């Protein structure tokens, strides 16, 4: 937790998404139900058409879309995102389906304050197709990992994990549905512990 925060103060989060924002929804819902003592001060997406941006706006939350232009260094887009997050005084950056690999510059700007959720039990099945990869490997168990973000993909200190069984006949869609249901419970609960307890 930010040392400058007063005891009992709710930390500000910037949530970063690329798609529908289902984990974003779960996090915001948890804050409004009193299960997560935090404030969502900004929702950022690399896709201006991301459905999650509209959801955030309907909840009265400030949004920002910053496309990563082809052929342009990622640092250019990230500099705008970094500036917006700092302007909103967010203590934490919460990745919730953000599908771009962050550069070392971004990591350094928010060192030890960036959290991600991944639909597998890391270090197993890193990458963008974790659910498909678990099925292809004929694994019996997969799950969900919440971890701190560092310069490597799907790396960094693991904060929490929860197993999800792979059932006979599972498709990518059926397994994804159970993994997402687990994510929506585990992520807000873990953020509450991270923000307000010592790990």
End-to-end alpha carbon distance in the chain? 11
Is 129 a residue of the active site?
A: no
198, two tokens: 């010592």
Count Cα atoms within 13 angstroms, Cβ side, for 149: 26
Given the residues 118, 129, 155, 184, select the one marked as catalytic: 118
Catalytic residue positions, numbered: 118
């Amino acid at each position: 937790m930010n040392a400058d925060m007063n005891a009992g103060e709710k930390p500000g989060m910037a949530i970063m998404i690329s798609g529908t924002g289902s984990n974003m929804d779960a996090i915001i819902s948890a804050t409004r139900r009193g299960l997560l003592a935090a404030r969502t001060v900004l929702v950022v997406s690399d896709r201006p058409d991301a459905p999650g941006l509209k959801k955030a706006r309907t909840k009265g939350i400030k949004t920002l879309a910053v496309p990563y232009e082809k052929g342009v260094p990622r640092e250019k887009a990230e500099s705008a995102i970094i500036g917006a997050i700092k302007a909103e005084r967010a203590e934490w950056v919460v990745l919730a389906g953000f599908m771009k690999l962050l550069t070392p510059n971004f990591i350094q700007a928010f060192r030890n304050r960036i959290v991600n959720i991944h639909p597998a039990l890391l270090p197993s099945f890193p990458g963008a197709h974790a659910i498909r990869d678990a099925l292809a490997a004929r694994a019996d168990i997969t799950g969900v990992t919440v971890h701190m973000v560092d310069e490597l993909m799907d790396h960094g200190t693991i904060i929490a994990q929860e197993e999800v069984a792979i059932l006979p006949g599972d498709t990518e869609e059926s397994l994804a549905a159970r993994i997402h249901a687990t994510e929506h419970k585990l992520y807000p609960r873990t953020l509450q512990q991270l923000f307000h307890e010592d790990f």
